[in-house]
Chains A and B, each alone.
Chain A
Amino acid sequence: MRGPGRWAVLAALTVLAVVMMFPFVIVAINAVKSPAEYSSAGPLSLPDGLYVQGIIDFWQRVDFGQKLWNSLLISGSVAVLAVVLSVLNAYALGIGRVRGRLSILVLFLVANTLPQEALAYPLYYLAKEFGLYDTKLSMIIIFTVIQAAFGTYLLSAVLGQFPKEILEAAAIDGAGRFRSLIRVVVPISRPTLSVLLIFFFIWTWNEFFLPLIFLISNDNQTVPVALGILQGERYMDATMSSASALLGIVPAVAFFLIFQRTLTRGITVGAVK
């Protein structure tokens, strides 16, 4: 296809890109409009100036700083703890090749595909019994296990290929098992571990179902839960709704830009999920 045909293809693909980006652009330009400007000019005009009062009002109304901190604390702790658990498991399964490793791996895989609906009520009940209901700790424990189930599955395959000579050399130098893990296996697997760390962080950040059930008080809610609950509230007018949408979009896009290089390397790894 040469001549005008190729420009037609480019034009069609560009139009599609504009359609995909439309919601982001519309949210951004309306979040910085005053309610008066919105009602007179509508959602499609460019803003006259930068009106940030709507965003500030919404921020204070929902105590958004607190929500960000909750999300950050939960997702960060889960990411670190789930990587630690995945490494320990994968060390035993991938390198140690303990007996029955295949059935253990299948178990982890099933755990990862299981719908959270089939665990939700008992978890809710147990959390209440143990005094963990409506705590960030409950979310950290539960998501650490769920993410580690995937991490174990993936990392066991990676460590299964780990060069044996290096481990034997370490053993000859007198390194015990734990020392080999910390000094040899972890540093060499660092690229894979950092991909896992970032994925666990973002996946946990994006979670909605269990946090919605577990985190009912304002002090504990995460960003997606707080915004999801407010959607459709009576006092949410047009500009406040776009401020809310913008505050949900910004951290997600920021993570994407910060982690872009690791992510594009890892999306194909994550595809196993």
Chain B
Amino acid sequence: MNNRTKGYWPYLVPSLILFLGVIVVPFLMNLGVSFTRWSGVGTPRWIGLDNYTRLLADERFWLSFQNNVALIVAMAIVPAAFGLLLAAALFDFIGKRFGPRTASALRAMYYLPQVLPVAVAGVVWGWLLHPSYGAINRALGLDLDWLGDPDLALATVMAVMVWFQLGYPVVIFMAGLQRVDPAFYEAAELDGASWWRRVWHITIPQIRPEIFVVLLTCTIAALKVFGPIFVLTRGGPGNATMVPSYFSYLNFFQKSNVGYGSAIATVLAVIIIVVTFLFLRLQERER
């Protein structure tokens, strides 16, 4: 047995070398730099945990995570909840009463924003929301500075992200619903259960694995969000839409606080890894 499997190691060698150079070494360098003060040139100066204690007292850092939570709501929770209703309505209502072609045409239209590069979605909305010539103000007869008003900017970005994300859960949930035995629905219908009760008692428990996957992948995407913030607001106005990834980018490339930026990135990485493991553990226990 041992002899048989030994011969497979050479197939892993190219990846392991590349992996070491592109992931492992940079990650460890980032971790190391986070314990130093460094402008990017010269020798980094060791300062121990100073960057991390500074983080804890930094209002901008806490604000950036608070905004991140808002974006988890906009990118994971709202699309998953709303997507579930849409998928159930499309699958067992539109599909049955108006034909599967109507259902899949509607699904395709909900999905279309998802095919855009997220930065391009930002370009589209930056133009639509422009305070002087944008189409949204004209269409609604308003005169608002959607992205420039500190009280409005985060809500606007959240709305854009709901638009961007919604199609993904709809498609995943509809695929999941195909697995559900139609006999469940027929039995429930005979019992006179309302549509809402059927969604709650049959649909949701049956597509639990899909719900897990959508929540996990969308939460991670929300924690990493960068492109739309860069394109739409650059974290502003003030710090109204600051997120950790843009905050670290600022420290790396504009303020030359590489050590501090590395500490932010390390904290973000730890949070994402912990969230991933928690979700996977939870999913394991469900089975």
Interface size bucket, B side? 35 or more
The answer to whether the Cβ of B90 comes within 8 Å of any Cβ in the partner chain is yes
Contacts of B269 in A (CB 8 A): 114-115, 117-118
**Assembly CA distance A148 to B113 (angstroms):** 26
Q: Which residues from 190 to 247 on chain A have a C-beta closer than 8 Å to any C-beta of chain B?
A: 202, 205-209, 212-213, 223-225, 227-228, 231-232, 237-238, 241-242, 244-245
Contacts of A21 in B (CB 8 A): 109, 112
CB A227 to nearest CB in B, in angstroms, measures: 5
Which of B102, B127, B130: most chain A Cβ within 10 A?
Answer: B127
Whether B106 contacts A13 by the Cβ 8 Å rule is yes
**Assembly CA distance A126 to B18 (angstroms):** 13
Supposing A13-B94, A241-B126, A245-B120 touch, asked if A122 and B30 sit within 8 A by C-beta, the answer is yes
Contacts of A241 in B (CB 8 A): 123, 126-127, 130
Supposing A241-B130, A244-B123 touch, asked if A208 and B230 sit within 8 A by C-beta, the answer is yes
CB B37 to nearest CB in A, in angstroms, measures: 14
Contacts of B245 in A (CB 8 A): 115, 117, 209
CB A223 to nearest CB in B, in angstroms, measures: 7
Q: Which residues from 20 to 49 on chain A have a C-beta closer than 8 Å to any C-beta of chain B?
A: 20-21, 23-24, 26-27, 30, 38, 42-44
**Assembly CA distance A16 to B170 (angstroms):** 13
Whether A268 contacts B175 by the Cβ 8 Å rule is yes
Contacts of A20 in B (CB 8 A): 109-110, 112-113, 163, 166-167
CB B158 to nearest CB in A, in angstroms, measures: 16
Whether A98 contacts B12 by the Cβ 8 Å rule is yes
**Assembly CA distance A91 to B10 (angstroms):** 11
Contacts of A110 in B (CB 8 A): 273, 276
Whether A117 contacts B22 by the Cβ 8 Å rule is no
The answer to whether the Cβ of A78 comes within 8 Å of any Cβ in the partner chain is no
Supposing A6-B97, A17-B110, A44-B138 touch, asked if A98 and B8 sit within 8 A by C-beta, the answer is yes
Chain A to chain B: the 10 pairs with minimum beta-carbon distance, closest first: A96-B8, A248-B120, A122-B26, A43-B135, A122-B29, A206-B117, A118-B269, A228-B119, A92-B11, A92-B8
**Assembly CA distance A202 to B109 (angstroms):** 19
Partner of A232, one of B27, B97, B126: B126
Q: What 1/0 flags go to B55-85 for Cβ under 8 Å of A?
A: 0000000000000000000000000000000
Contacts of A152 in B (CB 8 A): 15
Which of B7, B23, B134: most chain A Cβ within 10 A?
Answer: B23
The answer to whether the Cβ of B182 comes within 8 Å of any Cβ in the partner chain is no
The answer to whether the Cβ of A97 comes within 8 Å of any Cβ in the partner chain is yes
CB A37 to nearest CB in B, in angstroms, measures: 13
Whether A91 contacts B110 by the Cβ 8 Å rule is no
Supposing A20-B166, A245-B127 touch, asked if A208 and B227 sit within 8 A by C-beta, the answer is yes
CB B240 to nearest CB in A, in angstroms, measures: 16
Whether B23 contacts A111 by the Cβ 8 Å rule is yes
**Assembly CA distance A225 to B253 (angstroms):** 16
**Assembly CA distance A213 to B29 (angstroms):** 18
**Assembly CA distance A122 to B195 (angstroms):** 54
The answer to whether the Cβ of B266 comes within 8 Å of any Cβ in the partner chain is yes
CB A200 to nearest CB in B, in angstroms, measures: 15
**Assembly CA distance A17 to B266 (angstroms):** 40
Whether A238 contacts B19 by the Cβ 8 Å rule is no
**Assembly CA distance A126 to B27 (angstroms):** 12
The answer to whether the Cβ of B118 comes within 8 Å of any Cβ in the partner chain is yes
